Chain A
């Protein structure tokens, strides 16, 4: 259980000039958030950016548990959903009583909702880590999701509770009707939450969380109770998940029982793990990628969830550090200047690997069209080449790419490993790799 966040430590050592680059990163992020909608101003991209922003907060909050404290939760959506519901009820209350609370403060209410529930159930849940925690979280998740359908007056049954975000008092002339204004509201909270969660990793609590993840016994020896530490981490994770839920409620103006369910919990697990749990920025990458795939992939293929599953399995088996882990592996090589030694082998390996991947896609799509035939016709458009799913030529091409790609890719990846060893040796000699 404890080596969830291998292979590298979560916190890299301080470098000279770190403070400057540290603030620089956040300033660049802030500027990017402001400028993005000016570059991509279509309605579709605004919707995507808003969803990605929410997913980033949600995935980062999840990583407080998985990456930093080593708690694998299958029910993180509970805090997210309850935050959303509280936010919707609050918005309706504010609108009907004309309270002077502007919309941008609402996510905070959601956060408090998430925090309150986390504190309520967290004490029992966090008694143990590991598989037991994972199962309890699953059970609580199912329990809350199913109960929400019974407590209709609070959760509104299957229809959920709707609200109108423009009914709250306008702020600086902003009514938050247009998606652009909502995007900026979300972007504001993304920045605030990300900074807060990053700061949390730098506090003594954040560090002791890492210690609880890696070796709870030793933490006990130095006088901390791992249970309390896990409880606190669970509370913080619940708070930020609640903020994400509140933002979702603002974005969709509805909260329903699906917010609390297993699908949402699975989504955030995918996002955090695919991005990489060992680094702070991992879940951000994961959230961007998974949301984007979710929005985009469903239009290109009818089996988008299968690709998700395969990507996830691939990451678990071959790169448990996620995308962030893969990227960061190259950092010592860049510093040591030995990255050039691996690039050629990558390029060589890329071709058969790509062929293998294309073969896999072609196979999956062929099977999907051949057996399902669900209204999309039997022609697969891959890289602009039309393939007919029922034609033996397509099957042959798929099999050739798949098998041939696999065999050649295996050889080339052996060469990558060799080149990697050489480059790592150089890095080690120069003192950049332990």
Chain B
């Protein structure tokens, strides 16, 4: 309308003002800040901003200030490419993204093409949560580094735990209908068949991604199947609503999840009354018992008012700094070379390393259950003011949380 000219002027200034990043190291944060996945994306943004502040308080990276540039991709691969191109055009040399493996695949492809076509303007892609195994297998790229454990690593660890639980007899799989959900489903089928051939898979469900508002029909189906355990890779509202519907119907099963701890999940679990019956598999937990990590968690909660949902983001940012210092440069090509094969002490303790073959970070994996906390002194952190928190059930060391790769890395 009539305020258009101002907006246009502002836009012109903004596009024109894309200067090179001499002073600060800019990291483009490409994740949903609107639409269905926004609640997840905003939490990630706050985490990275906190981490950037932490680095800057200690003198930044080689004296350069670190800045997180939020770029909204609406969980849409094409929009992500527009944002990535915008980042490149603005002189940004590092991008980080996590939500949605479909976005991850598009960005990995973009980064590879961009770097081969525009030598001297290389872009590094730090993946902190897109866990589709294909990103470090058939689609692997030299310019992509993943700090999260891919879904097959997590399933490897999870099934290693489940194989020692004789009470598990009937398993129901429910997952989001897209590449990540499908890989969780097929890994679970494959690994359970190998490790526990006696376990019966009584249901295998794929539902539309982030579109279901009422899971009660699915819950009715799980109930009818007679399952005693449910394995799900659902995240965001899909896990919270799933557990909420389970609570309404009074479904009592053991839940083996990837992301039950996401926003809304803990509240829903508390409502179901499933005390220590919801399990989660992560690369770190708040009540890990590691003092440095727990101090970090305390400060993070005080400042950001969220639980630390991405310990891997801490590893990513700190390792970025270490790699830049090792390379003595903030040039992406040199940082990438320094990151390859690099060993690093992770937040929750223990050593991890960035495997050079596929640029997958391997680290200790934790299985935890959600419920009442017996000893508040040892396990001080609850979630979403429920009084319940994550309790360590099993820790799998780096050496036992490794999977082979089919990656044929093309090095520049």
| A touches B in complex, CB < 8 A | yes
Question: Which residue numbers of A lie inside 8 Å of B, CB to CB?
Answer: 42-45, 47-48, 51, 149, 157-160, 162, 164, 166, 177-178, 248, 252-254, 256, 258-259, 289, 292-293, 295-300, 302, 305, 307, 310-311, 314-315, 353-354, 356-358, 360-361, 374-375, 383
Residues in A with CB closer than 8 Å to B18 are: 42, 44
Residues in A with CB closer than 8 Å to B208 are: 149
Asked whether B102 lies within 8 Å of A158 as measured between CB atoms, the reply is: yes
Residue B220 is within 8 A (CB to CB) of chain A in the complex: no
> B196-222 vs A: 1/0 string, CB under 8 Å?
000000000000110000000000000
Lowest 9 CB-CB distances: which A-B pairs, in order? A296-B11, A357-B3, A44-B89, A158-B102, A43-B89, A314-B1, A159-B102, A158-B178, A177-B117
Asked whether B11 lies within 8 Å of A295 as measured between CB atoms, the reply is: yes
Asked whether B15 lies within 8 Å of A375 as measured between CB atoms, the reply is: no
Known: A42-B89, A254-B78, A259-B78. A162 touches B106 (CB 8 A): yes
> B1-43 vs A: 1/0 string, CB under 8 Å?
1111011101110111010000000000000011000000010
List 20 extra interface pairs beyond A254-B106, A357-B2, CB under 8 A: A43-B88, A43-B89, A45-B15, A48-B15, A157-B102, A158-B178, A158-B209, A256-B106, A258-B78, A258-B79, A295-B82, A296-B8, A296-B10, A296-B11, A297-B7, A300-B11, A300-B14, A311-B4, A315-B1, A354-B2
Closest to B106 in A: A254
Residues in B with CB closer than 8 Å to A360 are: 3
Tell me the residues in window 72-87 of chain B with beta carbons closer than 8 Å to chain A beta carbons.
Answer: 72, 76-79, 81-82, 85-86
Asked whether B11 lies within 8 Å of A160 as measured between CB atoms, the reply is: no
Residue B70 is within 8 A (CB to CB) of chain A in the complex: yes
Residues in B with CB closer than 8 Å to A166 are: 117
State the interface size on chain B (CB cutoff 8 A).
46
Asked whether B89 lies within 8 Å of A47 as measured between CB atoms, the reply is: yes
Asked whether A357 lies within 8 Å of B6 as measured between CB atoms, the reply is: yes
Closest to A383 in B: B6
A to B CB contacts below 8 Å, 11 in the list: A43-B85, A47-B82, A159-B102, A256-B77, A258-B76, A289-B4, A296-B12, A305-B34, A307-B7, A310-B1, A358-B3
Specify which of B10, B117, B209 lies most central, judged by the most chain A CB atoms within 10 Å of its CB.
Answer: B10
Specify which of A159, A178, A293 lies most central, judged by the most chain B CB atoms within 10 Å of its CB.
Answer: A159
Residue B46 is within 8 A (CB to CB) of chain A in the complex: yes
Residue B101 is within 8 A (CB to CB) of chain A in the complex: yes
Main secondary structure, interface of A, reads: helix
Residue B90 is within 8 A (CB to CB) of chain A in the complex: yes
Residue in contact with B78 in the complex, picked from A252, A311, A374, CB distance below 8 Å: A252
Residue in contact with A295 in the complex, picked from B15, B42, B76, B117, CB distance below 8 Å: B15
Asked whether A159 lies within 8 Å of B45 as measured between CB atoms, the reply is: no
> B108-129 vs A: 1/0 string, CB under 8 Å?
0100010001000000000000
Residue in contact with A358 in the complex, picked from B6, B81, B106, CB distance below 8 Å: B6
Residue B105 is within 8 A (CB to CB) of chain A in the complex: yes
Residues in A with CB closer than 8 Å to B397 are: none
Asked whether A296 lies within 8 Å of B78 as measured between CB atoms, the reply is: no
Residues in B with CB closer than 8 Å to A256 are: 76-78, 102, 106
C-alpha gap A42/B14 in the complex (Å):
13
The smallest beta-carbon distance between B27 and chain A, in angstroms, is 14
C-alpha gap A45/B14 in the complex (Å):
11
Residues in A with CB closer than 8 Å to B45 are: 375
Known: A43-B89, A314-B1. A159 touches B179 (CB 8 A): yes
Residues in B with CB closer than 8 Å to A43 are: 85, 88-89
Specify which of B1, B86, B102 lies most central, judged by the most chain A CB atoms within 10 Å of its CB.
Answer: B1
Residues in A with CB closer than 8 Å to B79 are: 258
C-alpha gap A45/B105 in the complex (Å):
26
Asked whether B89 lies within 8 Å of A375 as measured between CB atoms, the reply is: no
Asked whether A44 lies within 8 Å of B86 as measured between CB atoms, the reply is: yes
Known: A43-B89, A51-B82. A374 touches B3 (CB 8 A): no
Residue B357 is within 8 A (CB to CB) of chain A in the complex: no
Known: A293-B7, A293-B11. A253 touches B113 (CB 8 A): yes
Residue B364 is within 8 A (CB to CB) of chain A in the complex: no
The smallest beta-carbon distance between B341 and chain A, in angstroms, is 28
Residue B254 is within 8 A (CB to CB) of chain A in the complex: no
